[in-house]
């Protein structure tokens, strides 16, 4: 049996679900960020699979763009997290509560 | 590698100007002493932004064109929205300098980020390809994350930035995943190709059992829904609005006006381009199962939640944040009307009017709020604003004008915008193409939205009542500055001008509607060698039959579409 588009899409859906579930259940902001990255990469996988399926390179170009943009985003995100850690000495979402009062 | 012509560059000239100005500001920042005030950078930024706005107004083409090998659509929508966001950027930049000085965070990066964000919005609105859409969206978003978290020493700002960042990144992931499914139709990311595939005679197959890959799941529909949800997150529309109140009250005050005004307008304009173009298929837009219904429920939720919660807020910026959720709802109401053929042109005109009024008034209101404060804190509660209108008549009057505009009351621009929006939504209910039950729902929402917007207007009027109420118990300083005065003056002038003489903006709106609704014909730029190459590879080869082993197929070299 060979690998078909279906397999890639199912793997991508599984990764996306793992990311989404993690986003809801985990408490550490870095893990939350990792979950979003998993979702992005799941999307990339689907893009590349479709691209290969249709033999059109658009999807692969998009995947490269997504990677570059995700790196820029990670730069900003990690900088914000470092800043939060300086203020809170903690990276748990439960401690992100300055707006509660 | 295909080349590009000067026409391609001209189409993106406003965005290019903004990016170049941002780089220039960064360089200026490097070559000056740390103690030197950055006011002149604010002026440079404002001038560059106004220049970009002027240029995008001047170069607006009479006929829509596609540039960059079909990846960018150069038309009135892109030009008009670029102009609005650039003006909002200029107001914000001018209004920020004194505020940043006060907090000792007056640095050139701030202005550069503002310019980059504006350029991103401009690119996003001009996109005719999901790659360009994503690039523009992220260019704007990444700059906005940094701006939101810009006050590094503030706990609030960092946390606001993080919340915005996480939800924004989630939105990006949803967008890319959605685009992946749409790409699955033909393999192409272009709007035109995807639209053609969705409109193809055999398109119904895609919605019944799309690629034949995962049975019972209409993948293109899922893709459209994901793209739509991603935009709901970015626009802070209910039920994806939870980040907005925190982000808006933690971000530097003048930035918030830009984020909630210009950001929302650019987002909704990009949505309009999507739903007037590739997603405008009869099956999807007219029917009850189409995106019109999703937009309807998102609009309903946003209008109800935004207006009612805004009424309960004691803090001004949180109140404005919640009512911005309601504004997102009104814009989505216009999107519902876009799905009805008879009301489509009216809805586009309404959104242009609304965008003009809202982006300017919001930017102005937050600039005024940022001009008040004591020590390093800013005015936050309604009580702190008490009596400020009498102590500082000009600022009080300007803030009242912006709030009146946001509430949609007569002398200001918001009135015309809201009038046109709700009448369009009501007229859409009379459209013939939609089922009677849905038409009735749409009309009820238009009426209910109007009633609720009156309720939301009370929240604004309460602020004005406080402005002219008895004096505050707390000392609040006004920080005067020429740049602030200029910013507020510009915003107030535009708000009044568009409110009293809306003719010019109406003409823009009609022009945008005309260009957006002309069939997305094969307006191929001369530089495009073979526009249809990727499109005919897809639909003609039914994916369900072509489900072959991936790794066996060699990738031909000549298949690169662009």
pLDDT digits (tens, 9 = 90+) for B84-116: 999 999 999 999 988 888 888 888 899 999 999
Interface of A with B in 42-71 (CB under 8 A): 42-44, 46-47, 49-59, 61-62, 65-66, 69-70
- The DSSP annotation for A25-72 comes to H--BHHHHHHHHHHHHHHHHHHHHHHHHHHT-THHHHHHHHHHHHHHH
| B326 domain residue, yes or no | yes
Reported residue count of chain A is 101
Distance CA B137, CA B122 (A): 9
User: Under 8 Å CB-to-CB from B533, ≥6 apart: which residues?
Assistant: B561
The pLDDT tens digits of the residues spanning A48-98 come to 998 888 888 888 999 999 999 999 999 999 999 999 999 888 888 888 877
**Is A31 part of the contact surface with chain B (CB cutoff 8 Å)?**
no
Residue B554 lies in a domain: no
Structure tokens at A77: 């995100």
Residue B550 is assigned to a structural domain of this protein: no
Residue B555 within any structural domain of the chain: no
Residues in chain B: 562
Query: How far apart are alpha carbons B528 and B533 in whole angstroms?
Result: 11
Take residue B243 and report the two structure tokens written for it.
């980040």
Which residue has tokens 């920080």? B479
Alpha-carbon gap: B178 to the closest alpha carbon of chain A (Å): 8
- Cα separations (Å) of B271 from B200, B228, B491? 22, 8, 26
**CA B425, B431, B435: angle at the middle one, nearest 5?**
105
Residue A25 sits at the chain B interface (C-beta within 8 Å): no
Tokens of B420: 């046109």
CA–CA distance, A3 with A9 (Å, rounded to integer): 11
Quick one: pLDDT at residue B379? 79
Q: Can you tell me the mean pLDDT for B298-317?
A: 90
Contact list in B for residue A57 (CB cut-off 8 A) is 559-561
Question: The tokens 């072959």 sit on which residue?
Answer: B548
State the Cα–Cα distance between residues B180 and B187, nearest whole angstrom: 9
Comparing B417 with A2, the larger pLDDT belongs to B417
Answer whether B135's CB lies under 8 Å from B123's CB: yes
Structural domains in chain A?
5-95 (1.10.287.3510)
CA distance B449 to B328: 12
Residue in B141, B160, B169 closest to A36 by CB: B169
Q: Which residue did the predictor score with more confidence, B258 or B480?
A: B258
Using a CB-CB cut-off of 8 Å, the residues of chain B touching A46 are 177, 180-181, 184
Domain count within chain B: 1
**pLDDT for B521:** 46
Residues of chain A contacting residue B211, judged by C-beta atoms under 8 Å apart: 5
Using an 8 Å Cβ cutoff, are B183 and A5 in contact? no
Closest among B91, B135, B102, B94 to B116, alpha carbons compared: B135
Question: Residue B335 domain-assigned?
Answer: yes
Between B138, B174, B180, which is nearest A73 by CB?
A: B138
Among B166, B539, B543, B553, most A C-beta atoms within 10 A, so best to mutate, is B166
Domain hosting B165: range is 13-515
B4 domain residue, yes or no: no
| Distance between CA atoms of residues B404 and B460, nearest Å | 7
Minimal CA separation from A21 to chain B, in Å: 12
Least Cα separation, residue A23 to chain B (angstroms): 9
Q: Kindly list the strands in the beta sheet with B372-374, ordered across the sheet, starting from the edge strand earlier in the chain.
A: B377-378, B372-374, B477-478
Structure tokens at B227: 């793209």
Tell me, yes or no, if B297 comes closer than 8 A to chain A by beta carbon: no
pLDDT at B504 over 60: yes
Q: Count residue pairs from A and B with Cβ separation < 8 A.
A: 184
Phi, psi of B541 (to 5 degrees): -100, 100
**What residues of chain A lie within 8 A of the CB of B188, using their CB?**
54, 56, 58
Question: Token match 């708000």: residue?
Answer: B495
Complex confidence, ipTM: 0.96
Contact yes or no for B276/B337 (Cβ under 8 A): no
Contact B295, B332 (CB under 8 A): yes
For residue B322, CA distances in Å to B145, B312, B371 come to 19, 10, 21
Does residue B1 sit within a domain?
no
In this predicted structure, which of B21-30, B271-280, B281-290, B324-333 has the lowest mean pLDDT?
B281-290
Contact residues for B143 (Cβ-Cβ < 8 A; gap 6+): B113, B114, B116, B117, B120
Assigned domain for B133 exists: yes
């Amino acid at each position: 049996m060979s690998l078909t588009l279906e397999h890639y899409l199912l793997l991508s859906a599984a990764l996306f679900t793992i990311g989404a579930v993690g986003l809801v259940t985990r408490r550490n902001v870095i893990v939350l960020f990792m979950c979003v990255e998993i979702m992005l990469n799941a999307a990339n996988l689907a893009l590349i699979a479709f691209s290969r399926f249709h033999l059109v390179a658009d999807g692969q170009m998009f995947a490269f763009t997504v990677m570059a943009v995700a790196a820029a985003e990670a730069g900003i995100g990690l900088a914000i997290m470092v800043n939060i850690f300086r203020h809170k000495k903690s990276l748990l979402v439960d401690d992100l509560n300055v707006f509660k009062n | 590698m295909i080349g590009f012509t000067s026409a391609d560059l001209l189409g993106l000239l406003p965005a290019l100007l903004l990016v170049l100005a941002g780089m220039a500001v960064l360089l200026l920042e490097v070559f000056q002493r740390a103690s030197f005030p950055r006011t002149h950078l604010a002026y440079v930024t404002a001038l560059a932004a106004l220049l970009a706005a002027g240029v995008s107004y001047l170069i607006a083409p009479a006929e829509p064109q596609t540039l960059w090998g079909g990846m960018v659509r150069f038309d009135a929508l892109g030009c008009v929205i670029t102009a609005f966001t650039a003006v909002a950027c200029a107001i914000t930049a001018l209004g920020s300098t004194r505020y940043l000085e006060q907090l000792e965070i007056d640095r050139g990066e701030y202005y550069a980020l503002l310019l980059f964000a504006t350029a991103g919005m401009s690119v996003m609105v001009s996109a005719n390809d999901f790659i360009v859409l994503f690039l523009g969206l992220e260019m704007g978003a990444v700059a906005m994350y940094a701006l939101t978290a810009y006050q590094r020493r503030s706990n609030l700002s960092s946390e606001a930035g993080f919340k915005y960042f996480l939800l924004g990144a989630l939105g990006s992931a949803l967008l890319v995943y959605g685009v992946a499914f749409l790409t699955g139709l033909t393999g192409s990311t272009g709007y035109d190709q995807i639209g053609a595939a969705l409109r193809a005679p055999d398109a119904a197959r895609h919605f019944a059992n799309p690629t034949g890959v995962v049975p019972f799941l209409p993948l293109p529909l899922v893709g459209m829904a994901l793209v739509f949800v991603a935009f709901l997150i970015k626009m802070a529309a209910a039920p994806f609005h939870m980040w907005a109140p925190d982000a808006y009250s933690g971000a530097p005050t003048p930035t918030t006006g830009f984020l909630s005004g210009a950001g929302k307008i650019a987002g909704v304009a990009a949505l309009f381009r999507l739903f007037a173009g590739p997603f405008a298929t009869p099956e999807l837009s007219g029917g009850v199962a189409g995106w019109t219904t999703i937009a309807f429920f998102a609009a309903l939720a946003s209008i109800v939640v935004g207006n009612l919660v805004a009424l309960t807020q004691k803090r001004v910026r949180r109140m404005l944040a919640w009512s911005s959720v309601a504004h997102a709802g009104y814009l989505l109401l216009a999107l519902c009307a876009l799905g009805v053929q008879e009301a489509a042109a009216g809805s586009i005109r309404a959104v242009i009017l609304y965008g003009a009024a809202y982006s300017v008034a919001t930017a102005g209101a937050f600039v005024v709020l940022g001009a008040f404060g004591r020590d390093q804190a800013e005015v936050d509660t309604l009580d702190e604003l008490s009596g400020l209108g009498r102590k500082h008549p000009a600022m009080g009057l300007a803030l009242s004008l912006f709030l009146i505009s946001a509430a949609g009351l007569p002398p200001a621009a918001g009135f015309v915008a809201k009038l046109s929006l709700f009448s369009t939504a009501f007229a859409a209910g009379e459209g013939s193409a939609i089922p009677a039950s849905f038409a009735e729902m749409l009309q009820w929402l238009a009426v209910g939205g109007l009633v609720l917007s009156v309720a939301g207007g009370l929240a604004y009027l309460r602020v004005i009542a406080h402005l002219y109420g008895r004096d505050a118990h707390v000392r609040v300083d006004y920080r005067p500055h020429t740049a602030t005065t200029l910013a507020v003056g510009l915003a107030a002038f535009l708000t009044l001008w568009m409110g009293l003489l809306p003719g010019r903006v109406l003409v823009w709106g009609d022009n945008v509607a005309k260009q957006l609704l002309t069939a997305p014909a094969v307006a191929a730029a001369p530089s495009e060698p073979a526009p249809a190459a990727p499109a005919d590879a897809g639909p003609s080869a039914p994916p369900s039959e072509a489900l072959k082993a991936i790794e066996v197929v060699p990738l031909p070299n000549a298949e690169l579409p662009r």
